[in-house]
């Protein structure tokens, strides 16, 4: 089964079951070693850097992000 096939099946589950599955998956990260967590964060940083360098995504200045957050809380 591919990841895409698995995603399709999981998204067909009722919300409560999906939430439980998501909780279990998130808790599974608690058992990772510090080195593994660092490796995963590094992979994510490299992926994001490549997306920005390719123009696929554009960074948003921090002051704009915070301004939007403040506005959404009013």
* Alpha carbons 72 and 65: distance in angstroms, whole number: 11
Q: What 3 state SS string does the chain have?
A: CCHHHHHHHHHCCCHHHHHHHHHHHHHHHHHCCHHHHHHHHHHHHHHHHHHHHHCCCCCCCHHHHHHHHHHHCC
* Alpha carbons 15 and 22: distance in angstroms, whole number: 10
Q: How confident is the model at residue 60 (pLDDT cuts 50, 70, 90)?
A: very high
* Residue range 34-58: mean pLDDT, rounded: 95
pTM of the model: 0.56
């Amino acid at each position: 089964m591919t990841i895409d096939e698995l995603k399709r099946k999981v998204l067909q589950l009722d919300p409560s079951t999906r939430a439980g599955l998501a909780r279990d998956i998130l808790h599974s990260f608690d058992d990772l070693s510090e080195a593994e967590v660092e490796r995963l964060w590094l992979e994510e940083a490299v992926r994001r850097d490549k997306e920005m360098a390719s123009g696929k995504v554009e960074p948003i200045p921090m002051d704009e992000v915070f301004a939007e957050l403040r506005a959404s809380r009013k």
